[in-house]
Amino acid sequence: MAKYDVVFFDLDGTLVDTAPDLAYALNQVLEEQGKHPLPYEAIRAVASHGSAGLLGLAFGIRPDDAEYASLQERFIAIYQANLTRASTLFPGMESVIDALEKSGIPWGVITNKPAYLTDPLMAGLGLNSRAACIVSGDTTANSKPHPEPMLHACKLTEADPAQCLYIGDAQRDIEAGRNANMHTIVACYGYLGDHDKPESWQADAMIQHPSELSQWI
């Protein structure tokens, strides 16, 4: 059984199931624009790709399109007002966190979500005081898949990257972890789409449920 200096988690789709609130906000914007809401499962599959992915799915637009900025502003406003409306830890994740804390292994979050959304979400779920560090998408100059946020998290926790484990549900998560010389695990229970091929991401392992992390910690 491996023991790591620190275990780091991606946030959306790995540690916390935020898709219900992201879907709520996106469908509210669609309805305001006179469009039909999208099925939850369609939204869930792209929930890890931020507002660009979600608005692209809903409206077929890109960040450089003229209407993108106003739609993004409205989407973020609704989401920000509903951060913990239905978002919760994934089933079994509370036990994982408890096991880490009882074993004296610090855990943290490394996400591409901006801090103005990450911090109140973590606080609303009572996780901010438990995490050894929280690195958001705008904490460092570069975000995942760049290794900078990973290395910054290691600096904050005084850990050797080679002795750390990172769990994420997107290819950029695994790339970032590998770029930082961390051990990596794909959270296949997260927000993977039909076109994702996690077996090609070169992670150390893939898990179907948070409870499988017990053999790693």
Residues 10, 17, 169, 173: which is the catalytic one? 10
Catalytic (active site) residue 10: yes
Tell me the backbone φ, ψ of residue 205, rounded to 5 degrees.
-165, 165
Three-state secondary-structure class, residue 36? coil
| Alpha carbon distance 144, 172 (integer Å) | 6
| Alpha carbon distance 162, 177 (integer Å) | 10
Catalytic (active site) residue 12: yes
Closest by Cα among 50, 53, 14 to 186? 14
106, 132 contact by CB (below 8 A): yes
Closest by Cα among 110, 96, 133, 106 to 179? 110
Question: What's the Cα-to-Cα distance from 142 to each of 34, 112, 146, 185, rounded to whole Å?
Answer: 37, 10, 6, 22
Residues 5, 12, 17, 119: which is the catalytic one? 12
Three-state secondary-structure class, residue 7? strand
Task: Dig out the tokens for 95 from the structure.
Answer: 């036990």
Cis check: omega of the bond before 20, within 30 degrees of 0: no
For residue 106, the surrounding DSSP H or E stretch is none
Q: Which residues are catalytic?
A: 10, 12
